[in-house]
Amino acid sequence: MGKIKYDKFKWKLHGDLKVVALLLGMQLRYTNYCSFLYEWDTRDKKNHYVNKLWSKQISLTPGEKNVVNPPLVLLEKIYLPPLHIKLGLMKKFVKGVDKTGNGFEYVRNKFPNVSDSKIKEGIFIGPQIRELMQDKQFDEDLYETARNAWLSFMRISKDFLGNHKAAKYQDVVQDLLTSFIQSYGMQ
């Protein structure tokens, strides 16, 4: 950071989440508290989709909450990469889709060169996601709750994660959360 004179310029950073965690002094790999934003316990599987409010990470103190080194950058100067958010949402969507339904089978047939394990885990790349977003047949093959989640995903991709943020983007995000919760069958 000394070579690029970060202390002088205080640049805003945008990068891979692992790089961001490294710059903030967080321990990498599978840890309990891997998020630099929230004290989200990754090993608490039963509360992942139930608990909506995780306490915020107040400080990045070495020795606490998987922080091993003092941060090299200011937390306020970090932007989350939209593509990573989009890929994560796609992964959660596919994991929530009924594996015996027509929608899941359609994705399998649409991408025959993608392994079944990648499809089951929801691992897609940007062009594949864009191709699915333009495919009306995929919308029709989904059950109602999954279709609502998919339409919310497409809307958030355009109105929040795209080049232009919608004026009421908070409503777009809330709609996505609601539809994803309904698609997973949770209260």
Q: How far apart are CA 5 and CA 80, in angstroms?
A: 22
pLDDT per position as a tens digit, 34-78: 566 556 666 666 666 666 666 666 667 776 667 767 777 777 777
Pairwise pLDDT comparison (138 vs 26), residue with the higher score: 138
Do the Cβ atoms of 106 and 138 come closer than 8 Å? Answer: yes
Q: What is the pTM of this model?
A: 0.64
Question: What are the extents of the domains in the chain?
Answer: 1-80, 82-183
* Whole-angstrom distance, CA of residue 168 vs CA of residue 96: 26
Average pLDDT (123-141) is 88
Rounded to an integer, what distance in angstroms lies between the CA atom of residue 130 and that of residue 150?
Answer: 12
CA torsion through residues 89, 168, 40, 73, sign: positive
CA distance 83 to 19: 15
Q: Residue 88 has what pLDDT?
A: 82
Write down the pLDDT at residue 9: 78
